[in-house]
């Protein structure tokens, strides 16, 4: 249900929208769920997702993560990796698997060119990592 493609800045705000539908999805258990267009059942340590993004000029970005996580399994950690930069996030509960939250989780600086952006669990996963909905990189100048 997804088609990996190079993520290009959108025209209005120049954001990079990293979605399940345009990602490379790897691992033993993570799946694209049609009901919310999210990645769910993220429970294996080798589950991860990667995007290729084109950045037209050197830019600093604010990183937004959108996810759902049942409170019973909250507390796992994920890493958002962009080149040699890493943003580590402890996954908070959102109530249940149908309630999504979108928050700023960090900042990254990217030079002009093509970059690989990935998300993976850090350490063992208790239950499930989260239901992943989106990762958005918004230029700080927007």
CA 139 vs CA 12, 32, 116: distances in Å: 11, 28, 17
On the 0-12 / 13-18 / 19+ scale of CB atoms within 10 A, 59 is buried
Give SS3 for 98: coil
d(CA 53, CA 127): 31
Note down pLDDT in tens along the chain; length 142 residues.
689 999 999 999 999 999 999 999 999 999 999 889 999 999 999 999 999 999 999 999 999 999 999 999 999 999 999 989 999 999 999 999 999 999 999 999 999 999 999 999 999 999 999 999 999 999 998 5
Flag whether the pTM goes above 0.85: yes
């Amino acid at each position: 249900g997804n088609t990996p493609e190079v993520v290009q800045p959108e025209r209005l705000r120049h954001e990079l929208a990293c979605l399940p539908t345009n990602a490379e999805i790897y691992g033993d258990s993570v799946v694209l769920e049609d009901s919310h267009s999210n990645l769910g059942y993220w429970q294996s340590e080798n589950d991860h997702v990667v995007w290729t993004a084109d950045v037209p000029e050197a830019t600093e970005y604010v990183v937004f993560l959108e996810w759902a996580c049942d409170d019973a399994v909250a507390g796992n950690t994920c890493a958002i990796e962009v080149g040699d930069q890493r943003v580590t996030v402890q996954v908070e509960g959102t109530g249940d698997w149908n309630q999504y939250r979108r928050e700023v989780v960090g900042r990254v600086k990217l030079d002009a060119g093509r970059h690989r952006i990935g998300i993976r669990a850090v350490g063992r996963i208790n239950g499930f990592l989260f239901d992943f909905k989106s990762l958005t990189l918004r230029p700080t100048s927007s």
